[in-house]
Structure 1
Amino acid sequence: MTLQQMEYIVAVDKYRHFAKAAESCNVSQSTLSSLVQKLEFELDVTIFDRGSHPVKPTAVGEEIISRAQRVLFNAAQVRELVATRKGESVGKVSLGITSTVAPYLLPQMFKYLSAHHPDIQLHVEEARLSAILSQLERGELDVALLATPLHNNELLEIPVYRERLMAYVSPDAPIYHEAALTADRLPVESVWVLREGYCPNHDVFPFCNRVAGRRAIYEAGSVETLIKIVDENGGYAIIPELHVPLLQECQQANVRTFTPPEPTREIAFVVHRNFVRERLLNILADAIKSIIPETMLNQRIKKFPIVL
C-alpha cells in the first residue's frame, strides 16, 4: 500500500467518478484504475462498488478511505513541517472572500504580503458564499475569509476577529432620531437586506425571520451599493463596523449603534478539514493583525500561532 494509492482512493471517493478523480490527480484513468485494483487485490477486499452510478465505496471501503485520509493528512503535515524548517517559499495561494468582507482586508493585505512575503503568489476569488464553499470542498481554494458559523462538517473554522454590526439610517426614517437602537425592535418594513448579509444573527434581527413586509433584497451583496440605496430610497440597512471609516463624513452621521448586547459578526479562516498549511494561515493571520484593531481580534489568534 502506497501514499499514491491512498490519494487515488480518496480522490475517487471525493468525485465518485474514476475519470474525474484521475484528472484531479493528473494521471490517466487507466493508471488510477490499475493502482486502485492492485490495492484491492493486495487487501483482498472490494473498496468501490463499480456497479453503482455514481461510483460509491463499499462498507469496508468507507473505513479504508477514512483511515487513508488520516494517513495522507499526517504525511502532508510532515511535508509542511520540513518546508517550514527549511524556510521554503509558500508559493501559490488561492483565497476566497465575500464582498461583505473583502473591502476591509484586501487592499492592505496585498500591501502587507508584497512588503513582507513577496514570494507568495496570491490569487483572490471574490464570490458568493455558496460558490466559495463548493470550491473549498473540492479543494479549488486553499482558504477563505468568511462570516461564520457555517455549520458545515467538511470545513474547519478558525476565528480571526469579531466586529460590531451597526445600522445605516436614512434621515427620513423614524428611527433616525434614536441615539441607540434596539436590535430586536427594528421595523421590518423599512429594512434593505443583503442577500448574504447578517441573518446568521436570526435571534437578533427580527427581519431575518420574516419575509413578508420586508423591502427588496439586494442580490449582489455590496455594502457600498446598499448604502446608496438607503440614501436614495430611505429606510435603513445593517452594515459592519469596519465599513464606517469608508463612509463620507456626512454619511457617518447616519450610523447608529445598538444597545447592549450589541449584535456582532465573527470573521474566520475557513479551510477544508484536511488542510495542513499552518505556515500559510499564520502568515495571513499576521497580515490581518496588522490591519484589524487589536480590540477586535480573537484572543487566541492574538496570543498564539495557529495549530491545525
Structure 2
Amino acid sequence: MTITQLQYVLAVAEHKNFTLAAEKCFVTQPTLSMQIQKLEEELDVQIFDRSKKPIQLTDVGEQIVNQAKNIVSESGRIKDIVDQQKGYIGGDFKVGIIPTIMPTLLPMFMHNFIKKYPKVNLIIEERTTEEIIKMIKNGQLDAAIAATPLDEETIKEVVLYYEPFVAYVPESMPPFDKKELDVNDLSSNLNHLLLLQDGHCFRNNILNLCKAKSLDVDSHFQIESGSFETLVKLADEGLGMTLLPYLHTLDMNEKAMAKLRHFKSPRPSREVSLIYSKKELKLHIIEALRNTIAGVVKGAITFQDVEITSPLQAK
C-alpha cells in the first residue's frame, strides 16, 4: 500500500470517474486504474462498484476512503515539518473565498502576497460557505476566507476583521432622512428590503439581524439577486433599500455615497475569518496569508464597537 495509491483512490472517490481522476492526478488512466486494482487485490476487497454510472464506493470503500483522507493528510505534515525547518514558503496553496468577500478583499492583498511570497502558487476559488466547509474537510482546500462563526468542530477560525453593514437607501424611502439607522429601521421596512439570493451567507446575516427567517413579500414583486451591483441599481430605481458590506462601499462615487446610511453603535457587522482544518497542514503559508491580509485591512477596517450577526441560517 502506498500514499500514491491512496491519493488515486481519493481522486476517483471525488470525481466518480477514472479518466477525470487520472487527469487531475497527472497520470494516464491505465496507470491510475492499475494502481487502484493492485490496492484492491492487496486488501482483497472492491473499493469501487464499477457497474454503476457514475462509479460508486462500496460499503467497505466508504470506510477505506475516510481512513485514506487521514493518512494522506498526515503524510503531508512531513513535508510541512521540512519546509518550516528550512524556512521555505512555497508550493501550491488552494484558497476558497465566498462571493461577497472575493471582489473587495482579493484585490487588496493579492499583489502584496505574490510580491512577498513569489514561490507560493496561490490558487483562488470562489465558493459558497457550504462548499468551502465540505472542501476543507475533504482536503480539497488548504484554507478559506468566509464569514464566521461557523460552529464546525474540525475547522479552526482566525478572525481577520469585523465588517459593518451599511444601508443603501433611495431618496423615496423614509430611512433616507435619517443620519444613522438602527435595526428597527430594517424591521419596519422588510417588505422593501432587497437581498442576495438564497445560498449567500450575507443574506443569512441580514435575516438574522432582522430576526426574520424569511421576508414577508408584498403582492407586487419579489427580487433576489446574486450581486450587490444589481441590488444597488434596483435601489436607485426606487424599488427598495439594500444592505452592503462596508468594504463594498469604499469605491462608490459621490452620488451613490450620499445614499449610504451607517448604523448606530454597536454597529451590526459580520466577522470575516481565515479558516482551515484543525490538522493545520501548511500552517506556515496560512500564517503568511493571515499576516498579509491583516496588514492591508487594518487601515480600511478600524471599527471596534460592533455586534456580530451569525452567517448560519436561522432554524
Question: When the two structures are superposed, what TM-score results if normalisation uses the length of structure 1?
Answer: 0.77
Q: CA deviation at 1:3?
A: 1.0
- Count of aligned positions: 295
The alignment status of 1:257 with 2:262, answered yes or no, reads: yes
Paired with 1:17 and 1:273, the residues of 2 have a C-alpha distance of 30
Residue 84 of structure 1 is matched in structure 2 by 84
Is 187-196 or 247-256 further displaced after alignment?
A: 247-256
TM-aligned CA deviation for residue 284 of structure 1? 1.4
List per-residue Cα deviations over 1:128-185 (Å, max 9, x = no partner): 6389759947877654423346788997765433322121222321122343222562
CA-CA distance at 1:216 after TM superposition? 5.1
CA distance in structure 2 between the aligned counterparts of 1:7 and 1:268, rounded to whole angstroms: 29
Q: 1:244 to 1:232 in 2, by over 3 A?
A: same
Q: In structure 2, the residue corresponding to 1:246 is in which secondary structure?
A: coil
Q: Are the equivalent residues in 2 in contact too, given 1:193–1:215 (CA < 8 A)?
A: no
Residue equivalent to 2:43:
43
Task: Tell me which residue corresponds to 2:182.
Answer: 181
- Between the aligned partners of 1:32 and 1:296, the Cα distance in structure 2 is 53
Q: Is the 8 A contact 1:188 1:206 kept in 2?
A: no
Q: Is the 8 A contact 2:84 2:284 kept in 1?
A: yes
Q: 1:296 to 1:77 in 2, by over 3 A?
A: farther
Give percent identity, aligned residues only.
Answer: 30
The 3 A distance-change label for structure 1 pair 261 and 154 is same
User: Residues 69-121 of structure 1: CA distance to partner in whole angstroms, max 9, x if unpaired?
Assistant: 11111101111221222233424445443452234322331332244223334
Q: Any unmatched runs of 5+ in structure 1?
A: 298-308
Paired with 1:111 and 1:20, the residues of 2 have a C-alpha distance of: 33
2 CA distance for matches of 1:10 and 1:274? 18
CA contact (8 A) 2:234 2:240 kept: no
Give the alignment partner of residue 204 of structure 2, picking from 200, 203, 218. Answer: 200
Alignment CA distance shift 1:4-1:273 (3 Å): farther
Paired residue secondary structure (1:263): strand
Give the distance between the partners of 2:108 and 2:58, measured in 1 at CA: 49
2:271 is matched with 266
Kindly tell me: are residues 53 and 165 of structure 1, through their superposed partners in 2, closer, same or farther at Cα, counting changes over 3 Å? Answer: same
Matched position secondary structure for 2:13: helix
What is the rounded CA distance, in whole Å, between the counterparts of 2:222 and 2:9 in structure 1?
Answer: 47
Aligned position for 1:20: 20
* Structure 1 counterpart SS, 2:261: strand
- TM-score, length basis structure 2: 0.75
Distance in 1 (alpha carbons) for counterparts of 2:243 and 2:222? 14
- Classify the secondary structure of the residue corresponding to 1:46: coil
2:13 maps to a residue whose letter is D
- After TM superposition, the structure 1 = structure 2 runs for residues 137-156 of structure 1, keeping only pairs within 5 Å, are 142-148=142-148
The farther-off stretch of 234-243 and 201-210 is 201-210
Deviates more, 1:131-140 or 1:272-281: 131-140
Question: Following superposition of structure 1 onto structure 2, how do residues 51-200 of structure 1 map, counting pairs within 5 Å?
Answer: 51-125=51-125, 127=126, 129=128, 133=132, 136=135, 142-148=142-148, 159-178=159-178, 179-183=180-184, 185-195=187-197, 196=200, 198-200=202-204
Contact 1:97/1:144, CA 8 A, preserved across alignment = yes
Please say if residues 225 and 231 of structure 2, whose CA atoms lie closer than 8 Å, have aligned partners that are also in contact.
no
Question: 1: distance between equivalents of 2:292 and 2:213?
Answer: 33
In 2, distance between residues paired with 1:65 and 1:123?
25
Instruction: Tell me how far 1:290 sits from its aligned partner.
Output: 0.7
Separation (CA, whole Å) in 1 of partners of 2:237 and 2:224: 14
Change over 3 Å in CA distance of 1:131–1:182 after alignment to 2: closer
Structure 2: gaps spanning 5 or more residues: 305-315
Partner residue, 2:223:
217
1:55 to 1:81, Cα distance in 2 relative to 1, 3 A: same
Distance change (3 Å), C-alpha of 1:100 and 1:12 = closer
Label 1:50 to 1:247 Cα distance change in 2 as closer, same or farther (>3 A).
closer
Higher mean C-alpha displacement, 129-138 vs 66-75: 129-138
